[in-house]
Amino acid sequence: MSPQSEETAEQQAGEFTLGARVSTAPKATVEVPEADEQWPLPNGFAHVYYGEGHPQGITRPVIMADGFNLGRSDLDWLYQGLNGADGGYPLISELRRRGRDVILLGFEERSASVLDNAQAAVAAIMRANAQQLGDAALTVGGFSMGGLITRYALAQMETQRMDHRARMYFSYDSPHRGGVVPVGIQAFAHFIPVANKFARQMNSPAARQMLWRHYDPETGEIGVAPERREFLEKLAQVGQWPRVPRVLALANGRGDGTGLEIESGDTALGVQRIYPGTTFSTQAQGRDVVVAELKRRFPKAEKTITTSGFPEIDGAPGGTLRSYGILADTLKKLGAEVDLRHEHVCFVPSVSAVSIRDLDQQKDLYADIDDLNPDESDVDDFICSSANTGHTVATEELCTWLLDRLPD
């Protein structure tokens, strides 16, 4: 490969994003029927699929919001991800078989502020109520960040004394106490010497609000982003949670404190040829812990990324993301040689998904949730997976638990 080709390859290394499994392109597709209705909404849109037994309108609505990524929602992808693509559970088909009307809620920009996208959720709730035939209760929830968006929307409506008519709210692997992208990967997005998709995603309003710790490209500091502090304040102003509906939470991670088979401080990914000598390490405890050695040739530069006071968060029990795997795939396509040892790492810790502990301390991050008093959680009822599974993967275990708790 010529130096000019290698320089071009280095500049293209950020042309990827990280996203929820249910709202990314599936490897094996399933049929998506034509929506019975399509709604334009402020900052978003929705596709409506009537349930069996009442094909003329909305009778028993279930609103399900898309999660975090860059760009506009693709509701065909979301439908497939929630209906058996790639071996998942056919949740949408089962909802419709039971006579539920499925309303998939998407956003014009998934990386926009949670507060902005909550406007789409409020509008979808109001329209569902306006068009509904009969008086069955509404179910509202979302996947990944969609759970945060609908949580805020419902709580805001209650604060404003708006009747949302929801009797159940659910979040599916949502980062209530924060989500995690390794800071070495975040820093790499901004180490690429040209503007790129991944850098835009990692520095977007939604990422700054959601991530437990954020890498600031302007200062190089790693901490709680100002946007996250503001978002948490806004949640507090609307009472934190909706209180009229029953509040449920589902976690793709285990509840017994058993994490991933990841040794802290181990090499997660090594790179040669493109960004030669760049290495990423799994998060370890301690001060000035090296999590990434970043090296590039065009223009030549090196940067060491360190953390202090972090728990061993990459291997924590929780919903996983192919964070290093996706980066490795991109670099390989550009001609790099990669040594990928840890493809998946924790993205939404179980304690965050069921909102029972914060992520700062090792003992809390790896808490045996099953042994805790469930009243310590902020939600009314929750379930953790029997295995650490992919973030937002629609498993039979979690989906049937949710289906069994839908209001009449």
Which pLDDT score, from 0 to 100, does residue 56 have? 85
Q: Give the mean model confidence (pLDDT) for residues 256-275.
A: 97
CA-wise closest residue to 53 among 87, 88, 17, 98: 98
Q: How confident is the model at residue 209 (pLDDT cuts 50, 70, 90)?
A: very high
Which pLDDT score, from 0 to 100, does residue 193 have? 95
Q: How confident is the model at residue 5 (pLDDT cuts 50, 70, 90)?
A: confident
What proportion of the chain, given as a percentage, has pLDDT over 70? 99
Dihedral in degrees, nearest 10, Cα atoms 86, 87, 93, 94: -150
Which pLDDT score, from 0 to 100, does residue 28 have? 85
Q: Rounded to two decimals, what is the model's pTM?
A: 0.97
Give pLDDT tens digits for 44-100: 999 999 999 877 899 999 999 999 999 999 999 999 999 999 889 999 999 999 999
Q: How confident is the model at residue 222 (pLDDT cuts 50, 70, 90)?
A: very high
Q: What fold is seen in the domain 21-177+227-258+354-403?
A: Rossmann fold (3.40.50)
Give pLDDT tens digits for 236-247: 999 999 999 999
Give pLDDT tens digits for 125-180: 999 999 999 999 999 999 999 999 999 999 999 999 999 999 999 999 999 999 99
pLDDT of 21 > 90? The answer is: no
Q: How confident is the model at residue 1 (pLDDT cuts 50, 70, 90)?
A: low
Domain ranges, ordered by start, for the chain: 3-17+179-224+259-348, 21-177+227-258+354-403
The chain-wide mean pLDDT, for the chain, equals 96
Packing angle of the helix pair 226-237, 114-131 (nearest 10 deg)? 40
Which pLDDT score, from 0 to 100, does residue 57 have? 93
